[in-house]
Structure formats: structure tokens, C-alpha cells
Structure 1
Amino acid sequence: MSSPMVGAMLENAMLFLAYNQIQMMIKEYTTPAYKRHLLYNKNSADEVSLDMGQLCLAGALSGALASFVLTPVELIKCKLQVQETFTYNKSSASVIDISNKSATPNPIYTGPLSVIKHTFKQHGIRGFYCGHSGTFIRETSGGAIWFGTYEFVSKMFMHQKAKTMKIDKNSIKKSDINPIQLMIAGACAGMAYNLFVFPADSIKSQMQTEEEMMQATGKTVTKRGFIRVARDLYKADGIPGFYRGCGITVARAAPSSAIIFMTYVSIRTII
């Protein structure tokens, strides 16, 4: 539990910080000089709006940056979660006596610090970035989808409110739409993100846990790259293999992203 909590904190902090800063950079280089002073005015910076392509670009770049923080955290989380399988002998489907230290083919991790110590001792700093290619692909494409979907749905609600009030659509801000609409936009973003990037996440998780799984099944540990893992997964299970567990992940993402975006907009409005 501790690793996902830390990961969520770091991921969202990095994502929103990078997303806002990249938006400001895009605005600075694309806004006409006579409007550029708005960028440095806290109350009017939002008046300079970006189109959907620019917003998706900002989301993709923020996701790419976040992947460098996320990879080590997710590696620790995956190794802790997968070690439950160490107590089972897959060849005979019988339970291994975990009280017998010699019966376990892997070190049993007692927590995040245990994983950190073992990974650093065995592989050094590079060991914490096993599976980074999968995380990078997932977060870069996912950042564009996550923020892009949120912005698109939010704009729909904003335009709808402007039409109802019969005012200029550009005069409505996200803080002007109600919390339920913000949560709907966030929920749509979370579901779209997980639905589209789940295959990359499945490949990434296999890359980060294959050392433990191979040792647990008595196989020689060999490191596989992103393409090879994807090929092997497809050969073993076909397309469904990339989406195992996708349904519950998408369902979980709806409320979590809804709360994240509503909280973000609310706090930003207050600050």
C-alpha cells in the first residue's frame, strides 16, 4: 500500500507541475507580443487559451517527465505485489512451505526498503529503471490522452454553460462549472487513459517482475526488452493477454481521476 501511495503523490505532483509549466512555455512562444503581458498576470493568465493539439502536447511532455519518477516507484510496487506467487510451485500446483527458508527460490521482500536494498545490491542504480521504456510509452501517450480527454470534456461543459447563459464561450473558466461536471470530465479522462495504455502497462509490469517470476519457476533469468516481451505475450495469450485486468483498472480509474481533477481545480482556484 505504501508504494502506490507514494507513487500517486509523486506522479500527480510531477504531472500537474510539468503540465502547467509546459503550457506557460507554449503560450509564451505562440502568443502575440501584444498579449504576452497576460502570461505574467496571475488573474488573467488563463485568458490566453491553447487549442486541443497544444494541450495534448503539454500532457504528453508532462507524462514523459513523470515517467522518470514513476519507474522506480512502480518497480518496487510490482515486485512486492508479485511475490505472493513465490509461495506456489507452479509445476506441481502445491504450496511450498514458506517456513522453510531453503524452499523459497527468491528473497522474500518485507517492504519497500527491502526491495530497494536488494535491487541496488544486485543491479545498481540502473536496476531501478527496468521497464522504463514501457513506463515512458505509457505515460507519454497516456498524458496526452488523460489531459486531452479532461480538457475536451471540460470545454464541452464550459461551452454548454456559456450557451445557456448566452455569453461569450471564452469568458467561462473551468472554475465556473460545477464540481459534478469537473468530476465527470476527470472520470472520462481516467477511463480513457487506462483503456488505451493498458497494453503498455501490462508489458511494463512483466518486464519489472520477470526476474522474480523466472527464479520462482526455476528458469534462467534473462532480461527481455519491450518488443520481445510484447511478442512473447502475444504468442502466449494473443490480444486478450494485453488486457488482463483492464476492466477493474478502468473502473477504478473513474472515481480516482474524478477526485484528482476536482481537487486540483478547487485548490488552484483558492490559491
Structure 2
Amino acid sequence: MAATENGLTINNEISMELPALAPNQGLEAFKDIAFGSFAGMVGKIIEYPFDTVKVRLQSQPDHLPLRYNGPLDCFRQSFQADGFRGLYRGISAPMMGAAVENSCLFFSYRVVQDVLRATYYSTSETLPFSALLFSGAASGSITSLALTPIELIKCNMQVPTDGPGAKPPSPLKLMVAVFRQDGILGFWRGQMGTLIRETGGGAAWFGGYEGVSAFFRSYQHSASPTGSPQVESPTLPIHQQMLAGAAAGISYNFFFYPADTIKSRLQTEDISNTACTKRQTFWGVGKALWQQQGLRGLYRGCGITCARSAPSSAFIFTIYEGLRSYFK
């Protein structure tokens, strides 16, 4: 085996070309992690009260009358019980989760695109929309592994405690309860739902943003007086970036919302009940929910989720793209 300038030569006959990734990968990775984390935390502050309502609507027991009649009733009861602070209960874990999720999403999304360019496309070639969808799906599936344990703790902190004076459990107490009940693998309870949601949702999230952005760029090109082609995609105005981000957030949540509903049901089971010897499965919960409440039960809380995801994703993409442009 002998090394060559562009690859590896085996027995001086067969040459294996190694993909050449973009330079400065370390600096680009740092930007993805730092900018994605900051944008994700800002988005989480905006959306968290709506996310709390969504989880409480999703986690209502099947065998009891519904505690909330809808999102507005859930807001009212939650505010009367715990005040505005109660809507932000457990935000520490989601803030960390938002930083992890968005940094992983943007980092892996760029890396997958670099690999595709180095393997199948020219490094200067604009990737087709199908490749962008694949990159988004791949980034979502990777992110799901880091996100499931964080969402497990978050969902259990958002569910209201029983009793008027009951104190909500701390994240550390919940982590100890999960480990005692199910071991280390218990932190990945609901992984199937997170994987389905994040894989499909990643394709929908990035696909929605890229698709709407491409539409705006095409409109700008057709409206230009010269109509001359541009080498690089023009930077969109902030309001168009926010519209593209809002479309991405709605697409992410709407298409794969049933998987998130099932995941929330799984993750909000009583983890302190040691008498429970057999946990439900993802498909078992989904089948039971479909038989009891149909499609409406799988989409309970979807409206408020899409409503909160629109401004949240708009700010996430706008902040990330703005920081990227500023620190070129």
C-alpha cells in the first residue's frame, strides 16, 4: 500500500479517492455549536409556555375525564394554579436541550451537506432540494439520540403534580428515579418517537426553510431589472428569513405531531411507581390512543404547538443566519 497525493493506492493498481471536506472544519463546527446553541435558547424562551400547555394536553390520562377542554382552558388553569412562573416550570432542562438540539441540527446538517458535495457533487455545486431533505433527515436522526434523555426529564417536570400543595420534583430527583426504575437505558424511553419526529421533522424543518427561501430568491431574481444569474444566493431580508423560519417550524410540528404525542405519553408515565413491571411500547401506546380517540387524540395540542413554533423557528433561523453572516 502506498500513499498518493489525492488518495490511497493499493497494490499500485486500485486507487481509492478520499472525499475532500471543506477546510477550517474546526472553526465552522465551533460556529455551528455556538450560534445554534444561542439561537435555540432564545427560541426556547419564546416558546416554552406554549410547550408546557402542549405537554399537559398530550399527557392527560385516557381512563379519566379530560382535565383541560383545550389550550386556552389549560392556560387558564395553569396560570391560576401556579402563576406565570408555573408555565416556565422545568425550563432548565429544555434550555440545555434547545442548545444541544439546535447546535447538533445545524452542525450535522452542514457536515452531511459537505459529505454529499465531496462524494456525489462538485464542491461548488448547489445541492438539489432532495439532497437538502436528506441532510435534514440525517441531522434529525443524529440529534434524536442526544435529545431523548433531556425531553424525558422536561416532560415529567411539565406535568402538574397531584395535590394542592405538592412540590414539583427537581431534575436531579427525576434522573435518580429514572435510573432506579429502568437503569441507564431508561433515559432513552420514548426514543422511537423522538427518532421518528426528529428524522421526519428535520427534513420538514430544513426543507421548509430552504424551500421558502428558494421561492423568495427566485422571486427576487425574476423581479430584478437585469434578470442576470447570480453566482451566490442573495441574502434575504430579515422579514423573509423570518417567514421562511416560521414555515419551517409549522412544517416540523404538523407532519410528525402524532409521534410526539405518543412520546409524551410514554415519557410521562409514573416513573416512581416500582409496582409497574411492564412498560408500554411506542406502537402499543399509539394503537391504544388511536382506538380510544382516533386522529383527534394524536393531534391534541397541535394547534398551539404550531402557533408557538412559528415565531420560535423564525427567531432561531434569523439569529443563526445573522450571526453566520456577521462572523464570516
Q: In the TM superposition, what whole-angstrom CA distance separates every residue of 1:224-267 from its partner, at most 9, and x where no partner exists?
A: 11111100111111110001111111000000000011111111
Runs of 5+ in structure 2 lacking a partner?
Answer: 1-90
Residue 171 of structure 1 corresponds to 231
Residue 151 of structure 2 corresponds to 74
For residues 307 and 317 of structure 2, the distance between their equivalents in structure 1, rounded to whole angstroms, comes to 16
Match of 1:13 among 103, 106, 112: 103
> Residues 211 and 222 of structure 1 are in contact (CA less than 8 Å); yes or no, is this contact kept in structure 2?
no
TM-score (normalised: structure 1): 0.82
> Residues 67 and 135 of structure 1 are in contact (CA less than 8 Å); yes or no, is this contact kept in structure 2?
yes
Shift of 1:196: 0.8
Task: Report whether the alignment pairs 1:211 with 2:309.
Answer: no
For residues 277 and 168 of structure 2, the distance between their equivalents in structure 1, rounded to whole angstroms, comes to 18
SS across alignment from 1:238: helix
Give the letter for the 1:192 counterpart. Answer: S
For residues 140 and 57 of structure 1, the distance between their equivalents in structure 2, rounded to whole angstroms, comes to 9
Task: Report whether the alignment pairs 1:264 with 2:320.
Answer: yes
SS across alignment from 1:58: helix
Which structure carries more relative contact order (alpha carbon 8 Å, separation 6+)? 2
Shift of 1:220: 4.2
Task: Report whether the alignment pairs 1:122 with 2:181.
Answer: yes
Task: Report whether the alignment pairs 1:141 with 2:197.
Answer: no
For residues 228 and 190 of structure 2, the distance between their equivalents in structure 1, rounded to whole angstroms, comes to 47
Shift of 1:168: 4.0
Structure 1's 147 and 169: CA in aligned 2 closer, same or farther, altered over 3 A?
A: farther
Residue 227 of structure 1 corresponds to 283
Shift of 1:64: 0.2
For residues 228 and 177 of structure 1, the distance between their equivalents in structure 2, rounded to whole angstroms, comes to 45
For residues 237 and 170 of structure 1, the distance between their equivalents in structure 2, rounded to whole angstroms, comes to 52
Task: Report whether the alignment pairs 1:195 with 2:254.
Answer: yes
Structure 1's 156 and 124: CA in aligned 2 closer, same or farther, altered over 3 A?
A: same
CA RMSD of aligned residues (A): 2.0
Give the letter for the 2:227 counterpart. Answer: I
For residues 169 and 197 of structure 1, the distance between their equivalents in structure 2, rounded to whole angstroms, comes to 37
Shift of 1:219: 8.2
SS across alignment from 2:269: helix
TM-score (normalised: structure 2): 0.68
Q: In the TM superposition, what whole-angstrom CA distance separates every residue of 1:33-68 from its partner, at most 9, and x where no partner exists?
A: xxx4x5xxxxxxxxx211110000000000000000
Give the letter for the 1:173 counterpart. Answer: S
> Residues 162 and 172 of structure 1 are in contact (CA less than 8 Å); yes or no, is this contact kept in structure 2?
no
For residues 168 and 184 of structure 1, the distance between their equivalents in structure 2, rounded to whole angstroms, comes to 26
Residue 63 of structure 1 corresponds to 140
State percent identity of aligned pairs: 41
Residue 43 of structure 1 corresponds to none
Residue 162 of structure 2 corresponds to 86
Q: In the TM superposition, what whole-angstrom CA distance separates every residue of 1:178-218 from its partner, at most 9, and x where no partner exists?
A: 010000000001011111111000001111112349x5xx9
SS across alignment from 2:278: coil
Q: Which has the higher helix share?
A: 1
For residues 110 and 200 of structure 1, the distance between their equivalents in structure 2, rounded to whole angstroms, comes to 26
Runs of 5+ in structure 1 lacking a partner?
Answer: 39-47, 88-94, 99-107
